[in-house]
Amino acid sequence: EESLAAIADMPKVELHLHHEGAAPPAFIRGLAQEKSVNLSGVFDARGGYAFAGFERFLRTYEAATSVLQSPEDYARLTTALLEECARNGVVYVESFLSPDFCGGGDLGAWHEYLHAIRDAAERAERDMGVTLRGVVTCVRHFGPDKARLASRCAAETAGDFITGYGMGGDENAGALKDFAYSFDMAREAGLRLTVHAGEWRGPSEVRSALDDLGVHRIGHGVRAAEDPALVDRLAEAGICLELCPGSNVALGVYERLGAHPIERLRRAGVPITVSSDDPPFFHTTMRDEYLNLARTFDWDEEEFGALNRTALAHAFCDADTKKKIA
Ligand code: ADE
Ligand code: ZN
């Protein structure tokens, strides 16, 4: 229908995309072949990524990522993912980049990976009009020591491209306060902060993200919806939630999109945004996310327009970049 098509075509701002998680399975298969890496168990019978549940998703993610071994591989991945962004009308995207996967936390190697990624991003910006910024991300189940290395990489490269620091990985591993040092280091380097919290653990984890890490945004944060006082706090403090509804349904956080709290959070005045997380893993795209939300919650172009203004307001890039995007 006409208005649905207009919604799918809207210019979009995306704040939560994992760089490796955006790799199409065919891209990973091709690299595996080139490098003679055995990826048995990573793909299903139809050639998609194989996993059941969050923990096996993380294992599949890390196995697929093992074929990304050089700055050149990341340059190719960057081009591929920005082409997909452009196809989806995404004009600005922040992706999570992990020193753990890009040189293992070594600062010299990290510089080389970043150089290759930025080069590819500048070409994509020129050719396709999509702007990329990087959020350096540590991996929670790799532990606080690795996170410190990631934070040092982030602090050393903070600037117009690396604009933030965050953490993904297994939310059930360890406590957020164990990572306070690396978040403090990143904050002191001028970086904005986000953390995956309240995707698997409940409201107390979202509270800890605010109280122990002092983040500006929260990755997912959906389970905050179970605590009305916390929802009010998020709204009053203007903490942006990087919601990824398709990811939540694919991983079984919610049984179906209609059961997702996104509409309740929106009505409560929480700054909500919509992103695709790891789109080929979850068989989604930004267009699909918008279409599914429009169908399920009856949102019109005005609601999606507000969503994108919120995303741009809470983006980690500088004001000049925001002005160019708007
Ligand atoms: N890494 C990649 N995708 C993730 C997710 N949805 N949650 C936590 N860590 C991740
Ligand atoms: Zn994520």
Edge to edge, the sheet with strand 12-18 lists 12-18, 90-97, 131-139, 162-168, 192-197, 217-220, 240-243, 272-274
| Model pTM score | 0.98
* Contact between 272 and 265 (Cβ < 8 Å): yes
Known catalytic residue at 199: yes
Interval 208-263: pLDDT, tens: 999 999 999 999 999 999 999 999 999 999 999 999 999 999 999 999 999 999 99
Domain-wise residue ranges, the chain: 2-22+77-325, 24-67
Helix (H) or strand (E) holding 164: strand 162-168
Q: Residue 14: beta bridge partners?
A: 93
CB-based burial label for 165 (10 Å; 0-12, 13-18, 19+):
buried
CA distance linking residue 166 with residue 36, whole number of Å: 33
* Contact between 279 and 322 (Cβ < 8 Å): no
- Residue where the block lists tokens 């399975």: 25
Beta-carbon neighbours within 5 Å of ion ligand 2? 277
CATH superfamily for 2-22+77-325 is Metal-dependent hydrolases (3.20.20.140)
Nearest atom (ligand 1) to Cα of 278: 3
Q: Mutate which of 58, 137, 205, 248 to test ligand 1's pocket (most atoms within 8 Å of Cβ)? A: 58
* Residue 54 CA, ligand 1 centroid: distance in Å: 8
Interval 155-206: pLDDT, tens: 999 999 999 999 999 999 999 999 999 999 999 999 999 999 999 999 999 9
